[in-house]
Chains A and B, each alone.
Chain A
Amino acid sequence: MEQLRWLPMAQDWRARLRALDAADDVWSRAVALANTRLDFVRTNALDASVRRLVRTAPSGLGTRPVRLAVLGSSTLSHLLPAIRVAGLRRNIHVETCEGGYGQYLQELTVPGSALYAFKPDTILLAFDAVHVTQGVHAAMSASDADAALAERCAAIEQCWQQARHALGCHVMQQTVLDVFPPLLGNNEQRLAGSKSRFVTRLNQALRDMADRHGADLVAVHSSAARDGLHAWHDPALWHRSKQEVTPARAPSYGELVGRLLAARQGRSFKCLVLDLDNTLWGGVIGDDGMDGIVLGQGSPLGEGFVSVQDYAKDLARRGVILAVSSKNDEANALEPFEKHPDMVLRRADIASFQANWTDKAANLRAIAADLSIGLDSLVFLDDNPFERSFVREQLPMVAVPEVPEDDPALVPSVLADAGYFESAGITADDRERTAQYQENRARTALQATAGDLDSYLRALQMRMVWNRFDSLGRSRVVQLIGKTNQFNLTTRRHTDADIAAIMADPESFGLQIRLLDRFGDNGIIGIVIGRTTQPGTITLDTWLMSCRVLGRGVERTTLNLVAGVARAMGVETLVGEFIATKKNGMVRDHYRNLGFTVVAETESGSTATLDLRHFTPQQSFIDVTEGPPA
């Protein structure tokens, strides 16, 4: 299977690469080049140019630069350019350092090592199959094999702990490629000392360990299972140069790492926008009618389109928002969703439905506005090459996958391979997402009928339920902190460990805020973290909210709540900070609007204070209660 097949082929590759040297906007041009179908050679060439021309992370990218240390037991240097380019593809500047060949244990444990000097924020551990199976042999007893596995797991766990605690790093662990020819055959599990069996068991153990430790796996063994081991590993190359992953596959390897780096800073895509005709069904609904479109059992093509819908539906069930953009009369476009017996997707699955005759770029803008998400959160799936290239040109921040021509059956695997929706975890809110956006639309409809805003807000019957951070809501809190970009005053990406520290600190508070109304439960929509910075003063380290509840007075009510909590701690002054990013311009005047006094202000941020001794709670249509303890 061709690598990066969801990306379009580059036109004028060499000329465009060479043009970087004379360009003012090197970085954005390089991002565009990274979003073409690069092989190993082109990946290296692009990386070399960018490294020569862009020495340090450009400012104002709206992403956090990453310092990634790659430690392993064999040759890895051929993979680093592809990792950096996969970051570039996502507008993330990645600096890497490679540990000495097999020196990872010393480097992790000796504070004077080059690794410590590099000051990484993320560590990728990549152990080859020969290394992890040292001492395992076919004559081994079952109990010796078990002991060897436990020992290996403990050694890896120790590396993770060292990386986290001594270096303060997020940990990524590459899974192990099963490069060993089987000894028994189909029932390899019956040979206790089989290296192949050992690797299978180790990979399974790594999954559980990763969940316990908050580490992320780079699951190359899963990719190799899909692509074929020979695509990933060449035994001859292993003997020649100790490269376990073949250089030809480096772009795919880089992708696996790059998308995890993006997911960890909330830069995964959030919404799949679907075309209708010849994307969700065969034929043109406006011409062929309900009886004429190809969908459902009875034809291979019809079943292929069902498989596309099945995959989209499952994505929605795990938190990806679905939207529709179609050139059609709305009534025609809606009819299959309401009446066709073989449709898997129904109207309720689609959070924003744009069927009209305006161009698709305008429709995508409308979808982003409708859902209060950025254009760079959208993936646009369309069978029509004209529409794809039009959108790529008009809206380069929208991801537009190449679609296998005339075979819908292949579309789900392309979407999966592209990894647009890579997620580090799943929360209850993810499962409810589409319903929440649907409810939001009902609210908007009520707003249109209710006339003035105050009576609308009153009619919503809003209830705010808040809790201190607790173990129950912790994963959602970390997720929101990781991915909220717009209504986020400081964009501090606290980790799970940071949240635990706040929970344990009596001088700090962390509030998770849920909003309910007559249309349903919006889930956790706000997070505020305050820290005592001097006696009697609390600085608001973090204040973020979900954009879909804005315009309802939630900010004012939240301030009332924060003031109440702070007063109960004996606090007299609240300090609010704003740190500007490319995406959070909407909250530049947040504290000023709430009645704070701005004491310092520059382009890059501001500081404001509020005297709680003279603060009176502001009018609100939201009923506030403290939630039951978890």
Chain B
Amino acid sequence: MTEEKIYAELTEIFNDVFMADDMKLTPELSAKDVPGWDSFKQIEIMVSVEERFNIKLNTREIDSLRNVGDLAAVIARKT
């Protein structure tokens, strides 16, 4: 899957999770930049990513995520 396509899908997921229409996802974006991005939202993001990309993230991968760029990289490896 192309990076462009991954970011497009991720944007849809983030829009649903944060009830926005126009989230601007950058590789550096992380929880501290987005109001309301707490551990519960983090679970929502992980669940949505697994469902939408039809992949399974393992414990080590989830623990190593620091920002959107890390997430996109894991998805790129698995799709």
A interface residues with partner B (beta carbon < 8 Å): 13-14, 17-18, 39-42, 44-45, 78, 236, 239-241, 246-248
Of A14, A240, A248, which is within 8 A of B51 by CB?
Answer: A248
Q: What are 23 residue pairs bridging A and B, where the CB atoms are less than 8 Å apart in the complex? A: A14-B15, A14-B16, A14-B19, A14-B21, A17-B19, A18-B19, A39-B51, A40-B44, A40-B47, A40-B48, A41-B16, A41-B17, A41-B48, A44-B44, A45-B16, A45-B19, A78-B43, A236-B58, A241-B43, A247-B44, A247-B47, A248-B47, A248-B50
Cβ of B59 within 8 Å of any chain A Cβ, yes or no, is yes
Q: Can you name 6 extra interface pairs (CB under 8 A) apart from A17-B19, A41-B47?
A: A14-B16, A39-B47, A39-B51, A40-B48, A41-B17, A240-B62
Residues of B within 8 A of A239 (CB): 59
Contact with A along B1-32 (1 / 0, CB 8 A): 00000000000010111010100000000000
Q: Is A42 in contact with B16, judged by CB distance below 8 angstroms?
A: yes
**Chain B residues near A45 (CB-CB < 8 A):** 16, 19
CB within 8 Å for A236 and B59 given contacts A40-B47, A41-B44:
yes
Residue of chain B at shortest CB distance from A248: B47
Chain A residues with Cβ under 8 A from B17's Cβ? 41
Query: Which residues in A have their C-beta under 8 angstroms from that of B19?
Result: 14, 17-18, 45
Q: How far is the CA of A322 from the CA of B19 in the complex (A)?
A: 42
A240 nearest CB neighbor, chain B only: B59
| Dominant secondary structure of chain A at its interface with chain B | helix
Instruction: Name the A residues within 8 Å of B44 (CB-CB).
Output: 40-41, 44, 247
Shortest beta-carbon contacts, A-B, top 8: A248-B47, A41-B44, A236-B59, A41-B16, A40-B47, A247-B47, A41-B17, A41-B48
Which A residues are in CB contact (< 8 Å) with B15?
14
CB contacts between A and B, total, < 8 Å: 37
| Cα–Cα distance between A40 and B44 once the two chains are bound (Å) | 7
Provide the residues of chain B in CB contact with A14, threshold 8 Å.
Answer: 15-16, 19, 21
- Whole-angstrom distance between the Cβ of A25 and the nearest chain B Cβ: 21
CB distance from B64 to the nearest CB of A (A): 14
Q: How far is the CB of A38 from chain B (nearest CB, A)?
A: 11
- CB neighbours (8 Å) of B50 from chain A are 248
Q: How far is the CB of A44 from chain B (nearest CB, A)?
A: 7
A54 CB, nearest partner CB in chain B, Å: 18
Per DSSP, chain B at the interface is helix
Chain A residues with Cβ below 8 Å from B21 are 14
- Please name all residues of chain A whose beta carbon is closer than 8 Å to the beta carbon of B58 when the two chains form the complex: 236
Chain A residues whose C-beta falls within 8 Å of the C-beta of B62 in the assembled complex:
240
Q: How far is the CB of B52 from chain A (nearest CB, A)?
A: 9
Complex Cα gap A159–B79 (Å): 48
Could you tell me the distance between the alpha carbons of A427 and B16 in the complex, rounded to whole angstroms? 46
* Distance A41 CA – B59 CA, assembled complex (angstroms): 21
Q: Contacts A14-B16, A14-B19, A236-B59 hold; do A39 and B48 have CB atoms under 8 A apart?
A: yes
Q: Using a CB-CB cutoff of 8 Å, which residues 29-51 of chain B contact chain A?
A: 43-44, 47-48, 50-51
Q: A13 — which chain B residues lie within 8 A by C-beta?
A: 16
A246-B47 Cα distance, complex, nearest whole Å: 9
Question: What CA separation (Å) do A240 and B57 show in the bound complex?
Answer: 13
Distance, CA A236 to CA B62, complexed state (A)? 11
Name which residue of chain A comes closest to B50, CB basis.
A248
In the complex, the answer to whether B43 meets A247 with C-beta atoms within 8 Å is: yes
Q: From residue B12, how far is it (CB to closest CB) to chain A in Å?
A: 10
Q: How far is the CA of A39 from the CA of B47 in the complex (A)?
A: 10
Q: Kindly state the separation between the CA atoms of A239 and B63 in the bound complex, as whole angstroms.
A: 13
- Chain B residues with CB under 8 A of A17: 19
Give the chain B neighbours of A42 by CB distance below 8 A.
Answer: 16
B3 to chain A, nearest CB (A): 23
Least distance between A17 CB and chain B CB atoms (Å): 7
Closest residue of chain A to B57 (Cβ to Cβ) is A236
Q: Which residue of A lies closest to B21 (CB)?
A: A14
- Give Cα A45 to B51, complex, Å: 17
B13 contacts which chain A residues (CB < 8 A)?
Answer: 41
Q: A614 to B45, alpha carbons, bound, how many Å?
A: 73
Q: Which residues of B contact A248 (CB under 8 A)?
A: 47, 50-51
Please name all residues of chain B whose beta carbon is closer than 8 Å to the beta carbon of A44 when the two chains form the complex: 44
Contacts of A247 in B (CB 8 A): 43-44, 47
Instruction: Report the bound CA distance from A14 to B21 in whole Å.
Output: 8
Give the residues in chain B near A241, CB-CB below 8 Å: 43
- A15 — nearest CB in chain B belongs to which residue? B21
Chain B residues whose CB sits within 8 angstroms of the CB of A78 once the complex forms: 43
A584 to B43, CA, bound (A): 45
The residue on B at minimum CB distance from A3 is B51
Residues of B within 8 A of A41 (CB): 13, 16-17, 44, 47-48
CA gap between A45 and B59 in the complex, in Å:
26
Chain A nearest CB: distance from B65 CB in Å?
13
CB distance from A490 to the nearest CB of B (A): 43
A236-B44 Cα distance, complex, nearest whole Å: 16
- Tell me the nearest residue of chain B to A236, going by C-beta: B59
Q: Distance (Å) between the CB of B6 and the closest chain A CB? A: 18
Identify the closest chain A residue to B47 (Cβ). Answer: A248
State the Cβ distance, B40 to closest chain A Cβ, in Å.
8
B51 contacts across to A, CB distance below 8 A: 39, 248
In angstroms, how far is the closest chain A Cβ from the Cβ of B45? 8
CB distance from B57 to the nearest CB of A (A): 9
Indicate the member of B19, B44, B51, B58 with the most A CB atoms within 10 Å: B44
Interface centre among A41, A78, A236, by most chain B C-beta atoms within 10 angstroms, is A41
Closest-CB distance, B61 to chain A (whole angstroms): 10
Contact with A along B55-75 (1 / 0, CB 8 A): 000110010000000000000
A394 to B51, CA, bound (A): 33
CB neighbours of B43 from chain A (8 A):
78, 241, 247
Closest CB of chain B to A249's CB: distance in Å?
9
